[in-house]
Amino acid sequence: MKEPIDIKKITFNELKDLFEKRIFAIPEIQRDFVWTKTKIINLLDSIRKHYPIGSFLICKVPEKMHKRIRESPILPPFNNHINKECYIVVDGQQRLSVLYSIIKGNKIPNTSRYQEGIDFKEICLSPNQDKETEFDFYKTNETAHIKLHDILNGGLKYNISKNKKRRINECKDAFEGYSFPFIFISGYNEQNMREAFIRLNKGGTSLSTEDKIFAEAYNKDTDLRRHCNQLLHDLKKGFDNFEKIHFIKSIAANIGVKDFVGTSSNSFAKNIRNPRHPFHKEYIKKPSKNF
């Protein structure tokens, strides 16, 4: 690979510092948070047991590229006032979102899988040590359940048994002693990031049809994801779980695609982002009427 690569092992406390510095940025091609509670628990359990969780692929680009990113509803927004370089997350956004949320004790509202959202303060050490995983989601009662958020932030303020104290110390030591592999790449352009994102996610949580279209179609003038999200936000209640593929089909019909079902979605996406293609010109001509 021609681009310079810097591979680093980052500790849990170093990762917390990076979150505080707000160096990470989310590119427009990235999707929203899609993980299930099971995947979240498995990730945390793997860290506790020192299993590998995969590397994080980060593109280091000039600070001026921050204009081409979107604000994540989960990760802290990139701070261009104190950071001269922008670290774009190409692979690992879901895992970083979990780690940041458990540190902060956040609640993620209205995920694609859980209408009520995910409360990371409900993740606790399992009372049953014979369970396959160390953690689970509980409506917490501090006398019965120990929150992982409290363990990682030193927030335990009540008496606990010797056995629980031992498990707590083992858990905290496991997280603080874990090394997270980060691959930093310099010199990536937008096309390379798009291709890397799609290729890498073939092996993880499957990309939906709309996710692939959003990634392939993204251009500064053709941001379908933002367009769809804005419309869902503006519509009255009842459209929260409406599938975005239907909005994409509406756009396709409105700009002149006669048979979207028979048209390759990949071809449609590439055409709509191409400034020289009639689909692109038609889209930017009447963006407010595409639906």
Q: 144-173, pLDDT tens digit by residue?
A: 788 999 999 987 766 778 888 888 999 999
Token output for 289:
């009427």
pLDDT for the residue numbered 142 = 62
Predicted TM-score of the model (pTM) = 0.69
Q: State whether 181 and 261 are in the same domain.
A: no
Q: State whether 137 and 261 are in the same domain.
A: no
Q: Is the pLDDT of residue 135 over 60?
A: yes
User: Into how many domains does the chain fold?
Assistant: 2
Distance CA(15)–CA(56), nearest Å, equals 12
Distance CA(164)–CA(114), nearest Å, equals 31
pLDDT for the residue numbered 178 = 95
Answer whether 69's CB lies under 8 Å from 78's CB: yes
Boundary (domain end) residue, out of 184, 206, 228: 206
Q: State whether 222 and 140 are in the same domain.
A: no
Q: State whether 193 and 249 are in the same domain.
A: no
34-49: pLDDT as tens digits: 889 999 999 999 999 9
Answer whether 283's CB lies under 8 Å from 275's CB: no
pLDDT for the residue numbered 143 = 64
Alpha carbon 219 to its chain centroid, in Å, reads 20
Boundary (domain end) residue, out of 206, 222, 247: 206
> Concatenated DSSP letters for 8-31?
EEEEHHHHHHHHHHT-EEEETT--
Q: State whether 166 and 267 are in the same domain.
A: no
Mean pLDDT of the chain: 79
Q: State whether 227 and 84 are in the same domain.
A: no
Tell me whether strands 5-11 and 179-186 are parallel, antiparallel or unpaired: antiparallel
Q: State whether 183 and 261 are in the same domain.
A: no
Domain, as residue range, for 71: 1-206
pLDDT for the residue numbered 277 = 84
Token output for 101:
């949320």
Instruction: Give the mean model confidence (pLDDT) for residues 201-209.
Output: 59
Q: Is the pLDDT of residue 262 over 70?
A: no
Q: State whether 47 and 68 are in the same domain.
A: yes
222-248: pLDDT as tens digits: 777 777 777 766 676 666 666 777 778
Q: State whether 65 and 9 are in the same domain.
A: yes
Boundary (domain end) residue, out of 206, 225, 257: 206
Answer whether 74's CB lies under 8 Å from 55's CB: no
Q: State whether 105 and 139 are in the same domain.
A: yes
Q: State whether 15 and 80 are in the same domain.
A: yes
Residue with tokens 């498995």: 42
Counting other chains too, the contacts that 80-83 makes at CB distance below 8 Å and 24 or more residues apart are 82/21, 82/22, 83/21, 83/22, 83/23
DSSP conformation class of 168: H
pLDDT for the residue numbered 191 = 64
Q: State whether 39 and 69 are in the same domain.
A: yes
